[in-house]
Amino acid sequence: MKWLVVAVLCVAGCVQPDLTTCGSNSCPSGLTCQPSGICVSTDQLSSCSGKADATDCVYGTNAGICVSGACLAVNCGNDIVEQGEVCDDGNRSSGDGCSFDCQSKETCGNGYVDFVAGEQCDDGNLLGNDGCEANCMLPACGDHVVNTAAGEECDDGNQVDGDGCSRDCVSDETCGNHVRDPGEECDDGNHADHDGCQSNCKIQRCGDGIVDTGEQCDDGNFDNADNCLNTCKTPTCGDGFIWLTHEECDDGNRDDTDACPSNCLSARCGDGFIHRGFEGCDDPTQIASGCCHADCTRPSCGDSIVECDEYCDDGNHDCKEQCTEYCPAGGAGVDFNGFQGIDSTTSDTGGGSITERFNGDIGGMGGNGYGGAVFDHSTGKKIFLSTENFSDASSSGDLIRGGDGGFQQRSEPHPDNNHFLGYYTDTVSYCSPDGAGVGTVDSAVKITVTDACGITYSQTYSGDEVEGFNWPTCP
């Protein structure tokens, strides 16, 4: 700047030194014009003699760098783009196209971070996914740039969940991407069921809507009244849950006598089950026969109604011996002890016939036997025998019965105590199958009676053995 001093002195009236034009400047005597239009001293030239441009140099007390063979002081803001400067707009301010240190034209991709221009980074290129985005911003979720190097799976320009890209940009919020997103219970990275995490990203459990091993059903709810219990078992009668479309009740047992029988239909008269505490009977066939009332109550002896298998009912229990409830299982029994036995006589041994007889003394008051009657314990009364109560029961060794006859009853007054004699006879014929004409007949009579309870009893009475000679040969 010595020439400037000289020029000022000249204006003050001094002698004007010799000036050398140097670009837009004028160099005074002793200074050399640089091709760049800068006036330099011999010290500046000698300091860079033999040195390459951009080499550090010193002239006087000034430090600089060699530019076109002269040592020039670096002076950002002098409106001269000097060596080492990228730009120089004549000031030391950033944000106007040239940084305050003249090192950047403040464009993204020049390798210089222009903070005033809003840059967060500048890696010298306009590429993304390399740690610094093409807009010179650091990678960040929500910047609308999917930075895979930073682990981003998506970037929709915000940091909100539930819109197809998670708030941290690592999930596209689809089931099976190995990221548990909001609303997912699990995400194992696949769409397979039965592996602990179902294909709908729900934890495997009863009630997830998928039938897994060990489950009979799974309808995805916990309603015990539909077609699948909340234990994932198929509903059955007796499980304790009312299956609405199939059951009216379900008390969890198989008891047919309580309010809910084993068919899970509410107990009612006529269902065939006796409802304990409410019904005395319940049988459609009994109802039809009169042995069970229509309201499932049992006919009772003493209600003045002769019904079912009762023989009488006079409205009191004095007739109880003739009502069916007096009859025990199997009948009350019949007493045959009044019989005095039979005797058999031969009326024509040569002709092959004998007469079987039953003699019974039917006693009255003070009598010592029933004779021609038996005692029915179900009614407490006698059953007087008639012809149909008797049948022949004779057997023989080598003889065969041939022919038959009917019993005849003959009753006649007895002169003593109004007794009378029951007299039954049957004449039967026999023949010899081998023609020998000899044999023995074991004579017997079988008596059959039915008591008031409907039970049939039989008793056989043996008579005398009858030996025969010259029995006719059987045809």
Q: Which residues contact 285 (CB under 8 A, 6 or more apart)?
A: none
Question: What pLDDT was estimated at residue 414?
Answer: 44
Question: What pLDDT was estimated at residue 244?
Answer: 87
What are the respective helix, strand and coil percentages of the chain, to the nearest 5?
A: 10, 25, 70
What CA–CA distance (Å, rounded) separates 59 from 70? 10
For 266-294, what is the HEC assignment?
Answer: CCCCCCCCCCCCCCCCCCHHHHHHCCCCC
Q: Which residues contact 271 (CB under 8 A, 6 or more apart)?
A: 261, 263, 265, 282
Band the pLDDT of 254: cuts 50, 70, 90: confident
Where residue 199 falls (left for φ over 0; alpha for ψ -120 to 50; beta otherwise) is alpha
Share of the chain above pLDDT 70, in %: 76
Question: What pLDDT was estimated at residue 331?
Answer: 56
User: Coil, strand, or helix at residue 458?
Assistant: strand
Report which residue type is found at 147.
Answer: N
Chain center to CA of 39: 100
Share of the chain above pLDDT 90, in %: 11
pLDDT digits (tens, 9 = 90+) for 46-74: 999 999 887 888 888 887 888 778 887 77
pLDDT digits (tens, 9 = 90+) for 283-300: 777 777 777 888 888 877
Please answer whether residues 339 and 360 qualify as being in contact, where contact means their C-beta atoms are separated by less than 8 angstroms.
Answer: yes
Give, as one character, the DSSP assignment of residue 299. P
- pLDDT(415) > 80: no
Q: How far is CA 272 from CA 110, 112, 242, 296, in A?
A: 99, 99, 21, 10
What CA–CA distance (Å, rounded) separates 130 from 288? 97
Ranking 199-213, 320-334, 381-395, 421-435 by mean pLDDT, the lowest is 320-334
- pLDDT(2) > 50: no
Closest CA to 382 of 445, 319, 335: 335
Among 222-226, 332-336, 388-392, which range has the highest average pLDDT? Answer: 222-226
